[in-house]
């Protein structure tokens, strides 16, 4: 073992996963980083979203990724805990942090505001508003005059693969008094929502923005920020969303028609869409039992979503004889002794796959690699980068350009 590498980050760059396997024959799962893919996603949002893009840090809080996004023009970060506030502040001293979890502790708010310069907070209840006001009032009793407060509205998750509708958000019927009370203490008032993760149609946002319109009309307040949240989709097996330009276009049109469009800023909070393509992972088959493969990562590692919500990630065999082989559908077992450490898939791989073969699991940058690091010492002392393309991409420019179809409509 090279003891000298512990504690320092050694960077190794390889062309692709097969090259990593040839060089290392790794005994443990290996996370691969693709900074070029994250940079491309960031530039796409910065250039094409018709407003400001905040990166939702919880999707993948890796400091290396945060630096890539910052260097690509992402200046605002949606943080959900005081630990994320501290992490992003330490990594990106000049970033603007927005504390968008609607349930925070008083101590977290006070530290975020007083120590880390956070001015934007979200809330979905009067108690939280009182907490924010109390935690940001000076010892001399002077209330903060520089707060941007975003009221989280509950919206439907019907068009998304992962619901976020039941936990947070004030119901439309209760929104008016909360918006009015927040307007009284906020320098800037926002309305935010989250349509659920991996939204499969732009209509999710259009419908949510209709609810925003109703809330604004009901409350008769001026609104300075309309924040459409996250949910922007990535590409997975069986989940091919429309191009992101379709989402941006529909959001732009719906936001433009709001009564506050002349005075308000448009924000979004992509997590998944900015980082899904950033990571893949190399795993090894330790045992085969019929159509079941026992691999060395699972429900308690980067494949949490594959086990717990049946998410299907793309896979490819890295064995020498994989090319052109006949394929079959497999399920995976993870390495722990827990029966729940099971991933139904199906994962399509060469029919002859066997113990000792390596597999690359793609599109693990969002809610995948982030789960892994806490579970395993390997990969913390060395960062492995590859220069090849992710297994799928929203950003390679080979997808339909929706502006062409818009043109057809306007010509009619
Ligand atoms: C999780 C979360 C996001 C990011 O969602 P994605 O579906 O990954 O884009 C954005 N905003 C808030 C408030 C969240 O909780």
Atom of ligand 1 nearest to the CA of 197: 7
Does 212 share its domain with 248? yes
User: For 42-79, what is each residue's pLDDT tens digit?
Assistant: 999 999 999 999 999 999 999 999 999 999 999 999 99
Confidence of residue 143 (pLDDT cuts 50, 70, 90): very high
Q: 412 in a domain, yes or no?
A: no
How remote is the CA of residue 340 from the centroid of ligand 1, in Å? 26
Confidence of residue 379 (pLDDT cuts 50, 70, 90): very low
Atom of ligand 1 nearest to the CA of 196: 7
How remote is the CA of residue 356 from the centroid of ligand 1, in Å? 37
Tell which residue, 349, 373, 344, 345, has the closest CA to residue 360.
349
For residue 193, the domain's CATH number is 3.20.20.10
Does 265 share its domain with 287? no
**Residue to probe by mutation, ligand 1, list 41, 42, 57, 58, most atoms within 8 Å of CB:** 58
Q: What is the mean pLDDT of the chain?
A: 91
More confident residue, 207 or 409: 207
Residue at a domain's end among 248, 275, 302: 275
Question: Parallel, antiparallel, or unpaired: how do β-strands 30-33 and 52-56 relate?
Answer: unpaired
Atom of ligand 1 nearest to the CA of 269: 10
Does 266 share its domain with 306? no
Does 17 share its domain with 62? no
Which domain covers residue 113, as residue numbers? 35-275
For residue 354, the domain's CATH number is 2.40.37.10
Residue at a domain's end among 212, 247, 275: 275
Q: List Cβ<8 Å contacts ≥24 apart for 108-117.
A: 108/81, 108/82, 109/135, 109/136, 110/135, 110/136, 111/82, 111/85, 112/82, 112/85, 113/144, 116/85, 116/86, 116/89, 117/89
Q: What is the pLDDT of residue 166?
A: 79
Does 90 share its domain with 235? yes
Confidence of residue 259 (pLDDT cuts 50, 70, 90): very high
Atom of ligand 1 nearest to the CA of 232: 9
Is the alpha carbon torsion for 351, 332, 57, 378 positive or negative?
negative
How much is the average pLDDT of 313-334? 94
Does 218 share its domain with 321? no
Q: What is the pLDDT of residue 53?
A: 98
> Residue 23 pLDDT > 70, yes or no?
yes
Is the alpha carbon torsion for 164, 312, 66, 372 positive or negative?
positive
Q: What is the pLDDT of residue 9?
A: 58
Task: Tell me the sheet residues that pair with 361.
Answer: 281, 315
% the chain with pLDDT above 90: 83
How remote is the CA of residue 244 from the centroid of ligand 1, in Å? 16
Q: 192 in a domain, yes or no?
A: yes
For residues 170 and 125, give the distance between their C-alpha atoms in angstroms, rounded to a whole number: 7
**Residue to probe by mutation, ligand 1, list 65, 228, 229, 311, most atoms within 8 Å of CB:** 229
Does 171 share its domain with 310? no
Q: 244 in a domain, yes or no?
A: yes
How remote is the CA of residue 150 from the centroid of ligand 1, in Å? 15
How remote is the CA of residue 195 from the centroid of ligand 1, in Å? 9
Q: 243 in a domain, yes or no?
A: yes
Does 100 share its domain with 240? yes
Does 75 share its domain with 207? yes
Q: 4 in a domain, yes or no?
A: no
CB 259 within 8 A of CB 217: yes
Q: 136 in a domain, yes or no?
A: yes
How remote is the CA of residue 25 from the centroid of ligand 1, in Å? 36
Tell which residue, 189, 122, 203, has the closest CA to residue 156.
203
Atom of ligand 1 nearest to the CA of 230: 9
Does 17 share its domain with 83? no
> Residue 39 pLDDT > 80, yes or no?
yes
CB proximity list for 144: less than 8 A, separation 6 or greater = 113, 133, 136, 137, 138
CB 358 within 8 A of CB 320: no
- Taking phi over 0 as left and psi of -120 to 50 as alpha, with beta for the rest, 182 belongs to alpha
Does 340 share its domain with 195? no
CB 353 within 8 A of CB 330: yes
Does 364 share its domain with 257? no
Q: 193 in a domain, yes or no?
A: yes
How remote is the CA of residue 165 from the centroid of ligand 1, in Å? 12
How much is the average pLDDT of 126-139? 98
Cis-peptide into 346, omega within 30 deg: yes
Tell which residue, 52, 45, 46, has the closest CA to residue 266.
52
How remote is the CA of residue 138 from the centroid of ligand 1, in Å? 31
Atom of ligand 1 nearest to the CA of 152: 13
| Alpha carbon nearest to ligand 1 atom 5, residue | 230
Q: How many domains does the chain have?
A: 2
Residue at a domain's end among 247, 275, 303: 275
More confident residue, 186 or 408: 186
Q: What is the pLDDT of residue 247?
A: 98
CB proximity list for 262: less than 8 A, separation 6 or greater = none
Ligand 1 binding pocket (C-beta < 6 A) is: 56, 58-59, 78, 100, 194, 197, 229-232, 269-273, 366
User: For 71-115, what is each residue's pLDDT tens digit?
Assistant: 999 999 999 999 999 999 999 999 999 999 999 999 999 999 999
Q: 238 in a domain, yes or no?
A: yes
């Amino acid at each position: 073992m090279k003891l000298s590498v512990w504690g320092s980050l050694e960077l190794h760059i390889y062309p692709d996963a097969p090259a990593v396997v040839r060089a290392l024959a790794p005994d443990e799962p290996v996370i691969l980083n693709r900074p070029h893919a994250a940079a491309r996603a960031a530039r796409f949002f910065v250039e094409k979203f018709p407003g400001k893009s905040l990166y939702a840090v919880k999707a993948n809080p890796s400091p290396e990724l945060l630096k890539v996004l910052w260097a690509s023009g992402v200046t605002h970060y949606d943080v959900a805990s005081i630990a994320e506030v501290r992490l992003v502040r330490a990594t990106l001293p000049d970033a603007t942090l927005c504390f968008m979890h609607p349930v925070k502790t008083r101590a977290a708010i006070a530290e975020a505001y007083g120590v880390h310069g956070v001015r934007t907070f979200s809330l979905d209840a009067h108690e939280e508003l009182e907490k924010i006001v109390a935690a940001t009032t000076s010892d001399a009793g002077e209330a903060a005059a520089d707060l941007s407060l975003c009221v989280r509205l509950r919206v439907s998750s019907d068009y998304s693969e992962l619901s976020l509708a039941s936990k947070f958000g004030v119901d439309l019927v209760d929104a008016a008094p909360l918006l009015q009370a927040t307007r009284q203490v906020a320098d800037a008032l926002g309305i935010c929502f989250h349509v659920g993760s991996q939204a499969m149609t732009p209509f999710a946002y259009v419908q949510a923005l209709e609810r925003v319109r109703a809330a604004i009309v009901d409350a008769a307040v001026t609104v300075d920020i309309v924040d459409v949240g996250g949910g922007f989709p990535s590409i997975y097996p069986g989940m091919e969303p429309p191009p992101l330009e379709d989402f941006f276009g529909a959001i732009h049109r719906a936001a433009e028609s709001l009564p506050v469009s002349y005075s308000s800023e448009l924000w979004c909070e992509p997590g998944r869409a900015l980082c899904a393509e950033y990571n893949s992972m190399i795993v090894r088959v330790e045992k085969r039992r019929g159509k079941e493969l026992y691999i060395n990562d699972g429900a308690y590692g980067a494949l949490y979503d594959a086990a717990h919500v049946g998410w299907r990630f793309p896979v490819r065999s890295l064995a020498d004889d994989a090319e052109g082989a006949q394929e079959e559908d497999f399920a995976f077992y993870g390495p722990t002794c827990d029966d729940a450490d099971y991933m139904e898939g199906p994962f399509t791989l060469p029919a002859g796959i066997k113990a000792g073969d390596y597999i690359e699991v793609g599109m693990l940058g969002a809610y995948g690699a982030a789960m892994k690091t806490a579970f395993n010492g390997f990969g913390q002392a060395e960062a492995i980068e590859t220069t090849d393309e992710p297994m799928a991409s929203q950003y390679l420019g080979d997808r339909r350009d929706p502006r062409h179809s818009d043109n057809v409509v306007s010509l009619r």
